[in-house]
Chains A and B, each alone.
Chain A
Amino acid sequence: MFLEIRNIELFFDDKQVLAIDEILIKKGELVTLLGPSGCGKSTLLRCITGLEKPKTGSVFLDSEPIQFKPTKERNIGFVFQNYALFPTMTVFENVAFGLKIKKLSKEEINQRVFKLLDLVSMTEHAEKNVQQLSGGQKQRVALARSLVTEPKVLLLDEPLSALDARIRKQLQKDIRKIQQELQMTMIFVTHDQEEAMRISDRIFVLDQGIVVQDSTPDKLYQKPKSSFVAEFIGNYNKLDWKELEPYTTDDFIPKGNEFIYYLRPELILFREDSDTLAIPVTLKEQISLGPIKRYIFQTASDSEIMVDRLNNGSIPQTNFLYINKKDILKIPIKNV
């Protein structure tokens, strides 16, 4: 593996903040660390760079151990959430900074800087002072600055969280495009699961300093291993055995609190199918979410079930919701 992170333990005062077993990343992969605020993802990133020093742990980059190297020798790029551009310098000077340290010739610096400014579409702003730029522009410059030194891996710490929605979407696309073009190994940190799903090759979900699951976006959504992941990654319906058991004829839903059941709103049907469960319901309300229409039904036991459909027609009148047994996600209680 290109980047191997093992056994990282970090304590703040007496509290254990990181307890990472293993994170292995291939060369050229874009991996996201996803989790709620305070789960340790930014801290882990800083451990990789050396800005934070864990109590134990090893980091191997391209088969080289780097955990004892000082930050400036690790050749790792980093993009901060608040851009951290050098305030008194122009765009050009900011991007050229790393190359000046390496004492490259003026021509070479010029060439490389402009190549990168072109990549992030900031060539025409080269002579502007960075204070005059918008948030999105600043982040592009920050990206260029960290890529110009051709680092082995690029880390991005919630780089888009401070930007508004439209700029975010554009930059998500651009970052992914640049990553694929340069074949750069990247670790992206975010708390926004939609963002993670959109750009990642693989997602590592973190909770309180521990990796609870790592999969591709699709697999993470279809097969969450724990309640935490299920409730974090998607808009599942959560039901317990009492709400499903009465409608089964076999042992599919065992009596007793052994499992929690998750139903994906887009997989719930209005007609019977090959192997379905039928739940009696009444329609409570409809919410329009743009391309999706969300129908909220109420069950006999007063729970709510959401059903999502494409917003291109109305649904048939129905007193029952049908769900294929294979689409019911069972998560053991002890995995909560």
Chain B
Amino acid sequence: MKKHLIMLPFGIIFLAFSVIPLLLMILDSFQSDVTNEWTIANYTTILNNPYYNKAFINSFLIATVSSLLGLTGAFILCLCLLNLSKRTQEKITFVSNLAANFAGVPLAFSFIILLGNVGVLKMLFPLLEGFNLYSWLGLAVTYVYFQIPLGLLFIYPSIKEVKKEWIDSVALLGGSKGYAWRKVAFPFLRPSIMSTFVILFANGMGTYETAYALTGSNINLLTIRIGSLVSGDVFAKPNLGSALALLFGLILILAMILTQWVGRKVRG
């Protein structure tokens, strides 16, 4: 039993700072902020209030769009990488990880410089004049900057597993390269594409710093809403925040289950 002592401090910290607080949060979400009685009022508020509904929709839109763009970008980048030497591949993955580090305040600020109201790119290309960085689309485009490296990180190992012999075999049997990718490579990659999408989606939904730095509390996002409810800017409603956070978590778990189910079903 003495051996197990090593686990003790670790276990305590783990329980104290993740499991127990999460359980308490779930309990709190069923308590009113005003009185202290048990109620589901928090949940009814969220579901009925269009303000909070908008937050869900915004976050969902941004997450989905940035994930799709990020996944596509990462995929294209992977295909390019496969054609290069091993050393170049390593260097590019290095740069990609570095770029992911740029996320947050630095990213937001640099995009303001480039595409903000007096952005440099807007002056160079009048076409971009109508682009509003501070809309949900602008946010999505900004998110893509770190979604691509994240997607690359998860998709790259799987794409490397696609064997050249499969593509060659299809050619020998009379099929084109496109046919080979459609019928052999993509079905093979489908599970990892799905799980990467989930990770990107969760990442997009859960981003706080970049959004906060770019638009402050102005844009209606789930994470920002939760943050202001819980940490009490002016009117703190922590239990409402807990309810919101719980719903948020449930949506993500639902997304995970759905994509797993889709991935498995089509596998046949």
Contact = CB atoms under 8 A, between A and B. Distances in A.
Nearest to A99: B173
Contacts of B176: 72
A90 to B, nearest CB: 9
B175 A88 contact: no
Contacts of B165: 80, 82, 84
A147 to B, nearest CB: 11
A85 to B, nearest CB: 8
Given A76-B172, A78-B169, A88 B267 contact: yes
B9 interface: no
Interface string B137-167: 0000000000000000000000000010110
B184 A71 contact: no
A292 interface: no
A86 interface: yes
Interface string A36-53: 000000000000010100
A293 to B, nearest CB: 44
B66 to A, nearest CB: 29
B188 A98 contact: no
A256 interface: no
A146 B170 contact: no
A149 B169 contact: no
B174 interface: yes
A101 interface: yes
A195 B123 CA distance: 73
A145 interface: yes
B173 A98 contact: yes
Contacts of B172: 49, 71-72, 74, 76-78, 146
A15 interface: no
A87 interface: yes
B174 A72 contact: yes
A71 B166 contact: no
A97 interface: yes
A102 B166 contact: no
Interface residues of B, number: 19
A77 B166 CA distance: 14
A70 B171 CA distance: 9
Nearest to B190: A88
B169 A72 contact: no
A172 to B, nearest CB: 22
Given A51-B168, A101-B179, A84 B173 contact: no
A83 to B, nearest CB: 8
A201 B7 CA distance: 69
Nearest to B184: A86
A70 B187 CA distance: 25
Interface string A88-114: 100000000110011000000000000
B188 A97 contact: no
B126 interface: no
Interface residues of A, number: 24
Interface string B76-103: 0000000000000000000000000000
B160 to A, nearest CB: 14
A102 B174 contact: yes
Contacts of B175: 72, 97, 101
B268 interface: yes
A29 B59 CA distance: 67
Contacts of A49: 172
Contacts of A97: 170, 173, 175, 183
A19 to B, nearest CB: 25
Contacts of B267: 88
B127 to A, nearest CB: 41
B165 to A, nearest CB: 4
Contacts of A102: 174
Nearest to B161: A87
A97 B163 CA distance: 17
Report which residue of B168, B169, B184 has the largest number of chain A beta carbons within 10 angstroms of its beta carbon: B169
A264 B172 CA distance: 43
Given A84-B168, A86-B184, A149 B268 contact: no
Q: Which 7 A-B pairs have the closest CB atoms?
A: A84-B165, A98-B173, A71-B171, A88-B187, A101-B174, A78-B172, A101-B175
Given A84-B163, A88-B268, 10 more contacts: A51-B168, A71-B172, A72-B175, A82-B165, A84-B168, A86-B166, A86-B183, A87-B166, A88-B187, A97-B183
18 contacts: A70-B171, A71-B171, A71-B172, A72-B171, A75-B174, A76-B172, A78-B168, A84-B165, A84-B169, A86-B169, A87-B188, A88-B268, A97-B183, A101-B173, A101-B174, A145-B173, A146-B172, A149-B174
